[in-house]
Amino acid sequence: MLDFSLVGYTQKGRKSWEVIGKSADIFSDIVRLTSVNANVYGEEENINLVGDKGAYDKTSGKMHLQDNVIITTQSGGRLITDSLDWDRASQRVTTTDVVNIEKQNLKAQAKGLEGQPNLKKVFLKDDVTVELQEEQGAGDAPLSSKEPTVITCDGPLEIDYEKEIAIFNTNVKVNQKEQGDMYADKMEAYFDFKNKKILRIKSMGNVKIVKGENTSYSEEAEYSAATKKMVLTGRPRLVIYSEEKLVDAPSGN
């Protein structure tokens, strides 16, 4: 069968989703599709899912998309991966493959994902790399620079776009050319996505900050855009390198 489509409606008769395919095998509970194009019609925004191949389970309402899978949201979010499972009832998408996400001023890559198809809240599992590009001219931004801020961690990473927070876990490293490198067990980054700014960064557990030859150690560190200061807490220690020679320095008993 060519140009096959499936459509779902709400109890009030509003179209809530549709799945369109160029061809289908419909003689079982599993509908096989090629050139899949699916749409989810939400109250706040619409979502489009495409893939070269798909399998739709008529009993459970679950769909598996395979090869060149792309999610595009009406607000400009985009996810690319090799395969994806979409649970229509719970409105969850999952994959164990490498994913690339672009939304607002944040780009993320990781292996494995769970989240909402509108990408407002996603859980990236392993080998996470995030690139943040702040809008130039944001004078109160803590890491405002032409160079992007790159954050890596073993994972997981949880991004909540509505609460404007990203939580990085395990072997977190922040690299920013002008600010140096920061290492921690866990990090919380707070954003103003509308104005493309990082507002605050809180690092916790075995925090180390390296800038040039100087290094600081602490249990926690917090950078605030309001004060433009880094506050170290929990037995902070500074190691400062100086090229000046200690000549005629006084000595004590």
Burial 66-97 (b: 16+ CB within 10 A, else e): beebebbbeeebebbbebbebebeeeebebee
How far is it, in rounded angstroms, from Cα 221 to Cα 153? Answer: 17
So what's the pLDDT on residue 249? 38
Strands (E), the chain: 2-9, 15-25, 30-41, 46-57, 62-73, 78-87, 92-103, 106-115, 121-132, 149-153, 157-160, 165-176, 180-192, 197-211, 214-224, 229-233, 237-239
Residue 218 has pLDDT above 70, yes or no: yes
**210 or 142, higher pLDDT:** 210
Structural domains for the chain: 1-88 (2.60.450.10), 91-243 (2.60.450.10)
Phi, psi of 240 (to 5 degrees): -110, 130
The band of 246, judged by pLDDT with boundaries at 50, 70 and 90, is very low
So what's the pLDDT on residue 185? 98
So what's the pLDDT on residue 241? 74
**What count of residues does the chain have?**
253
So what's the pLDDT on residue 124? 97
Q: Which of 26-35, 151-160, 166-175 has the lowest mean pLDDT?
A: 26-35
Return the percentage of the chain with pLDDT > 70, whole number: 87
Region 200-204 average pLDDT: 94
So what's the pLDDT on residue 51? 96
How far is it, in rounded angstroms, from Cα 198 to Cα 131? Answer: 12
Top-confidence range, 29-43, 64-78, 211-225, 237-251: 64-78
Region 149-172 average pLDDT: 95
Closest by CA to 73, choosing from 97, 49, 99, 108, is 49
The band of 131, judged by pLDDT with boundaries at 50, 70 and 90, is very high
Q: Taking the model in full, what pTM does it have?
A: 0.83
Region 183-197 average pLDDT: 89
Return the percentage of the chain with pLDDT > 90, whole number: 52
User: How far does Cα 227 stand from its chain's mean position?
Assistant: 27
User: How far does Cα 19 stand from its chain's mean position?
Assistant: 27
Peptide bond into 156 cis (omega under 30): yes
Region 124-145 average pLDDT: 70
pLDDT tens-place string over residues 57-108: 888 889 999 999 999 999 889 999 999 999 988 889 999 999 999 998 889 9
Bridge partners (DSSP) of residue 182 are 174, 209
So what's the pLDDT on residue 135? 64
**136 or 104, higher pLDDT:** 104
So what's the pLDDT on residue 227? 84
User: How far does Cα 122 stand from its chain's mean position?
Assistant: 7
Residue 47 has pLDDT above 70, yes or no: yes
Region 16-26 average pLDDT: 81
